[in-house]
Amino acid sequence: GVSIIFASGDSGSGYSSFFGANPKLYASWPASSVWVTAVGATRFINQQPGDGEQATDQFGSGGGFSRIVTPAPAWQSSAISTFYSEETKAPTNTTYGFGGRGTPDVAALGEGFQVIMNGSPESVGGTSAAAPTFSALVSLANDARIQAGKKPLGNLNQWIYKEGNSIFLDVTVGSDRISRQGSSVPLGFDCEKGWDPVTGFGTVLFKKFLASAMSN
């Protein structure tokens, strides 16, 4: 009955290289555990609510494929296959955890996030802001389920990958070729239609999310 939710990290594709040689990409752990729902980050296009969403570029929305969890779980294999059919700029297979679990699973707004500091609003950013936002929405869904005599949702991943973009706003703009500091890196992945290893299935469409949770 417990949902485990982690930020996917702020290091984008996890690009690492020794003076430009032997580049490698590393997906964040424990976000890539099969028991965890990993949350990436988005921002508003043009920084204007209502203009749609894209992957954050103030820092990199952590995403990629695990070198630890291989092969990818069965509930994710179709989403990954669809992504590869759309991605035209993927790194070579030996550069990253090809065949491994992909992260993130979903995303939430994580840039220009408003918090109260010393009594005044202040903007912060991070997947560590996006993850508790998504967690709060899951809590609201669990509250509704419990009031209806149902059990909490528990592990979310099989449900999320079954419902996909029927309950999430698809994010198709941006990439994770961005470092923690917001600078560009040469290797990574793109946002594509459907699931991708930058923003997952995208951000919650709460009415549809709740309706699905109640019927699950």
Question: Which tens digit of pLDDT belongs to each residue from 54-71?
Answer: 999 999 999 999 999 999
Q: Identify which of 125, 19, 18, 107 has the alpha carbon closest to the alpha carbon of residue 63.
A: 107
Burial of 188 from C-beta contacts in 10 A (0-12 / 13-18 / 19+): buried
Question: Which tens digit of pLDDT belongs to each residue from 117-160?
Answer: 999 999 999 999 999 999 999 999 999 999 999 999 999 999 99
> pLDDT over 90 for what percent of the chain?
94
Whole-prediction pTM: 0.95
> pLDDT over 70 for what percent of the chain?
100
Q: What is the rounded distance in angstroms from the CA atom of residue 176 to the CA atom of residue 115?
A: 25
- Please list, in sequence order, all residues whose beta carbon lies within 8 angstroms of the beta carbon of residue 43, skipping any fewer than 6 positions away: 53, 54, 55, 56, 57, 58, 109, 110, 111, 112
For residue 20, the model assigns a pLDDT of: 80
- Residue 203 pLDDT level (bands cut at 50, 70, 90): very high
Q: Which residue has the higher pLDDT, 112 or 136?
A: 136
Question: Which tens digit of pLDDT belongs to each residue from 148-201?
Answer: 999 999 999 999 999 999 999 999 999 999 999 999 999 999 999 999 999 999
